Every structure is written in structure tokens, then in C-alpha cells.
Amino acid sequence: MLKLKKIYRKVLRYNIVKKYKKNIQNKNFTIISSNCIGGLIYHDLGMQFKSPTINMYIKANDFIKLCKNLKKYMDEELIEIKDNIYKFPIAKLGDIYLYCVHYKNFNDVYNKWNKRKKRINYNNIYIIMSDRDGCTDENIKEFDELDYKNKVIFVHKRMDNIKSSYYIKGTENNDKRNRIINITEYKGKFTGKRYYEDFDFVTFLNNRGV
């Protein structure tokens, strides 16, 4: 059943992905993302991962610290954190934590991280964040002030005072957290599009963040 579902999704996404690959012009960029969105974008474009922040999420405070001092953190050694709560590896980079949700073990995390961080194109960086994983309104303001031209934060409500914000309709989380839902999820059973794809990321990448 799961295999059939994957085939079904692949069929639904065929023309969507084909269009992305046809229209992308910027071919050598690094996406630093707070969750799996960056990896999904690279995958759909059929491009090599030129970022270490693949298949993981980073909590809001830590992600902003990482972006503020990216080169400094890339010089830090990745350390394994033993934790019985999570069923996936946790890594520590200096004073920030990486929740490596799509990795089997720390060795895999360590090797992929060190290989991919060498590919970072510091002259063509895009920062992508979502207002979840502990994100506060203050974090959103901090993100907006980051010294990067090419950045976007996906939010659960209109924030016209935040220049880098992008509101995705229908992503309000109605629980007590009052933040955005997981926008890597599909919008419905009969669509090949995920929520974050309401944002034209190909144009974003081609136009250097404009």
C-alpha cells in the first residue's frame, strides 16, 4: 500500500518537477534551511546537495545563531548527543543542536555533514526558515534582520511588517502553539503539491531573492 502511494505521488509530481527543472537558471547555490524544505527543493531540481542542513531540523533560536555566524559554525566539530527520547540521531555543533530526523545513525550524519559543508557557495546563499520548532515573533524579527539578501520565512499569518515573510494560506496550526503546520506535507490526497510550493521558489532562486 505504501509503495503504491509513493508511485501515485510520483506520477502526480512528474509534470510539476519537470517544470521546475526546465525553469531553473541558477545552478550553483546553497540553501541553509531550518528544516527539510531545502533538501526537497534540491531533490526536485535534480541538483547536488550543496548544503549540510539536509534531512534535519534546527530549532528557531539555534538556526538564527547558525545563520549569524555560518562560517564560524562550519569550523566547529560535530559531536554526537546521546538521547533516549528521540528515535533519530541528535548532533551538537558548538552550542547549537541538530535534530537529524531522516538519518539512521550519527556516523551517517557526521559523514554527510562534513562532505556537504565543503560544497557551500558562500557567494550564493539562500536562507529558508518556517515559523515553527520553538519560533517566536521575536525570532521572526531577528530573522528579518539577518544580513542576507536572499531569505524567506514561511509564516502562518500575514506579517506585512516582516519583509522576508511569506504567508501560506491554510497553514494555521490550531493548537496552543499557534504556529505554522508542517508545510512539507502534501495539500491533499489527490494533489502532487506540498504546502510550501505555493511559494515560487524557482523564481526566488533565479532572481537572487527578489
Q: pLDDT grade, residue 2 (50/70/90)? A: low
pLDDT digits (tens, 9 = 90+) for 141-153: 999 999 999 999 9
Beta strands in the chain (DSSP E): 30-33, 78-81, 90-93, 96-99, 125-130, 151-155, 165-167
Calculate the alpha carbon distances from 154 to 14, 126, 129, 135, 169 in Å: 25, 14, 6, 11, 10
Contact 139/154 with Cβ under 8 angstroms?
Answer: no
Its pTM stands at 0.94
What is the rounded average pLDDT of the residues 101-113?
A: 97
pLDDT (tens digit per residue) in 48-80: 999 999 999 999 999 999 999 999 999 999 999
The pLDDT value recorded for residue 6 is 80
Say if CB 134 and CB 59 are below 8 A apart. yes
Please tell me the predicted confidence (pLDDT) of residue 177. Answer: 66
